[in-house]
Amino acid sequence: MRILHLNEDNINGLLSELLKRSPHQYTEYESTVRGIIDDVRQRGDEAVFELTEKFDGIRLDAKSLSVTDEEIEAAYNEVSPKLLSVIKKALVNIRSFHEKQVQQSWFTAREDGVLLGQKVTALENVGVYVLGGKAVYPSSVLMNIVPAKIAGVDHIYMTTPCGKDGRVPASTLVAAKEAGVDKIFKVGGAQAIAALAFGTKTIPKVDKIVGPGNIYVALAKKAVFGHVSIDSIAGPSEILVLADETANPRYVAADLLSQAEHDELASAILITTNEKLAQAVQQEINGFLQVLSRHEIIEKSLEHYGYILIAKDKPQAIHAINAIASEHLEIVTANPYEDMTKIRNAGAIFLGAYSSEPLGDYFAGPNHVLPTNGTARFFSALSVDDFIKKSSIISYSREALAAIHNDIEDFAKCEELTAHANSIHVRFEE
Residue 328 is among the residues annotated as catalytic for this protein: yes
Residue 78 is among the residues annotated as catalytic for this protein: no
For residue 353, is it left (φ>0), alpha (ψ between -120 and 50) or beta? alpha
Contact at 8 Å (CB) between 132 and 188?
yes
- Choosing from 178, 238, 284, 327, which is the catalytic residue? 327
Per DSSP, the three-state class of 46 is helix
- Residue 114: count of CB within 10 angstroms of its CB: 17
Residues in CB range of 354: below 8 A, 6 or more apart: none
Do the strands 106-109 and 115-122 form a parallel or antiparallel pair, or are they unpaired?
antiparallel
Per DSSP, the three-state class of 240 is strand
CA 393 to the chain's CA centroid? 30
**Amino acid letter at 429?**
E
Handedness of CA 178, 179, 184, 187 (dihedral sign): negative
For residue 335, is it left (φ>0), alpha (ψ between -120 and 50) or beta? beta
- Choosing from 328, 330, 368, 409, which is the catalytic residue? 328
Contact at 8 Å (CB) between 236 and 262?
yes
Q: Which residues are part of the catalytic machinery?
A: 327-328
